[in-house]
Amino acid sequence: METVVSGIRPTGNLHLGNYFGAMKNFIKMQNENNCFFFIADYHSLTTHPTPGDLHGSVKQVLAEYLACGLDPEKATIYLQSDVPEVIELYLLLTMNAYVGELERTTSFKDKVRKNPENVNAGLLTYPVLMAADILIHNAAKVPVGKDQEQNLEMARKFARRFNNMYKQEYFVEPQPFNFGENLIKIPGLDGTGKMGKSEGNGIFLIDDEKALKKKVMRAVTDSGPTEMNSEIAEPIQNLFTIMDVVSEKSTLDFFKEKYANCDIRYGDLKKQIAEDINLFISPIREKINDIKSNDEYLRKVALMGAEKARESASKTIKEVRKIIGFRPF
Ligand code: TRP
């Protein structure tokens, strides 16, 4: 049983790409590991949300993850802001995080370029807070996408520095959790590339039938096959890939055969996909709404998570304080 930590930014909604990608793996991970999943609400303050927006997006993201199958009985699911020990470790780690190295981080430089009017210190120390999130549970593994690899590398660096400074192997150097073959990539509907938040091409789990149908019907296609059994062009293959995860196999085979015989009608294909996506996500959408309207349940989940997380976090903080030299007289 390895300890795994994953932080979830409370921004945006889960789309089909997240569902078949990271989400499926989270569900599996929670059965096989000691998982800590938390909503990174402190991190989200770098963009200055209003109190209403902050609360709303935290609630939304928690409801979506629970609806997809994150299980508070199996994993520790909590809000970052419910665990003050994280902030204490963050402060302690900042003393050994150098301004120069923080300034050189790619994500910091990106943000400075995109928002030169809001280069706050929280943005600069973002990787230190993230390291605290991970090291507070002495996690061995962290599931990260490409964009978070550098932050994880910094967490390792801070762990190593602490260990060297106090001459003991206290912190584990957290490694990326490798999903291996299990990462299904869902393409976008814009012809090429994957479905993603920044790509603006997501079909969200909360999209209603009308909204998702509109998105699917606008999907990029081509002028159609002209030769029997020709190779499937990328935009059409993308539609088939989505069909492969939401439709019956016989439906997919039916349309693939039509393509091979050059008598496929893309309008029919899209209509079918929209219908099957809707069938697939309807129960999830309903569950999200049920959970969202059940404050008592959400409160229970958050309380239980906070208790479990603080148990682990306070143990670490106690040991760290002792190592550093905070001792009672
Ligand atoms: N920085 C991560 C992101 O943008 C979120 C995050 C915060 C995180 N703390 C973490 C992820 C700790 C993994 C571990 O997605």
β-strand partners of 78: 38
Q: Do both 313 and 260 map to the same domain? A: no
> Looking up tokens 């994953």, which residue turns up?
6
What integer pLDDT is reported at residue 194 of this predicted model? 87
Q: Do both 16 and 149 map to the same domain? A: yes
What integer pLDDT is reported at residue 153 of this predicted model? 98
What integer pLDDT is reported at residue 5 of this predicted model? 98
> Looking up tokens 């069938």, which residue turns up?
279
Distance 139 CA to ligand 1 centre (A): 13
Q: Do both 311 and 279 map to the same domain? A: no
> Does some domain include residue 165?
yes
What integer pLDDT is reported at residue 181 of this predicted model? 67
Q: Do both 222 and 113 map to the same domain? A: no
* Integer Cα distance of 160 and 170 in angstroms: 9
Q: Are 235 and 221 in contact (CB under 8 A)?
A: yes
Q: What is the dihedral of CA 81, 85, 86, 91, to 10 degrees?
A: 120
What integer pLDDT is reported at residue 192 of this predicted model? 79
**146 is annotated as an active-site residue:** no
Q: What share of the chain is helix, strand, coil (3-state, %, to 5)?
A: 60, 5, 35
Q: Do both 167 and 232 map to the same domain? A: no
The contacts of residue 283 (CB under 8 Å, 6+ apart) are: none
Catalytic position from the list 24, 74, 157, 197? 197
Q: Do both 81 and 164 map to the same domain? A: yes
Range of the domain at 220: 209-289
**214 is annotated as an active-site residue:** no
Q: Looking at ligand 1, which residue's alpha carbon is closest to its atom 2?
A: 7
> Does some domain include residue 189?
no
Pairing of strands 76-79, 3-8: unpaired
Long-range own/partner contacts, residues 95-98 (CB < 8 A, 24 or more apart)? 96/158, 96/161, 96/162, 96/165, 97/125, 97/127, 97/128, 97/154, 97/158
The conformation of residue 187, written as its DSSP 8-state character, comes to B
Who lines ligand 1 at CB under 6 A? 5-7, 9, 40, 43, 130, 133-134, 142, 148, 151
Catalytic position from the list 28, 109, 185, 194? 194
> Does some domain include residue 201?
no
What integer pLDDT is reported at residue 182 of this predicted model? 63
Q: Looking at ligand 1, which residue's alpha carbon is closest to its atom 8?
A: 7
CATH number of 130's domain: 3.40.50.620
Q: Do both 150 and 48 map to the same domain? A: yes
What integer pLDDT is reported at residue 133 of this predicted model? 98
Q: How many domains does the chain have?
A: 2
* Integer Cα distance of 325 and 320 in angstroms: 9
Q: Do both 280 and 298 map to the same domain? A: no
Per-residue pLDDT of the chain (329 residues; tens, 9 = 90+): 899 999 999 998 999 999 998 899 999 999 999 999 999 999 999 999 999 999 999 999 999 999 999 999 999 999 999 999 999 999 999 999 999 999 999 999 999 999 999 999 999 999 999 999 999 999 999 998 888 999 999 999 999 999 999 999 999 999 999 887 667 789 999 887 889 877 778 899 999 999 999 999 999 999 999 999 999 999 999 999 999 999 999 999 999 999 999 999 999 999 999 999 999 999 999 999 999 999 999 999 999 999 999 999 999 999 999 999 999 89
- DSSP codes of every residue in 22-78: IIHHHHHHHHHSEEEEEE-TTGGGGG---HHHHHHHHHHHHHHHHHHT--TTTSEEE
Q: Looking at ligand 1, which residue's alpha carbon is closest to its atom 6?
A: 7
Q: Do both 306 and 281 map to the same domain? A: no
Q: Do both 155 and 230 map to the same domain? A: no
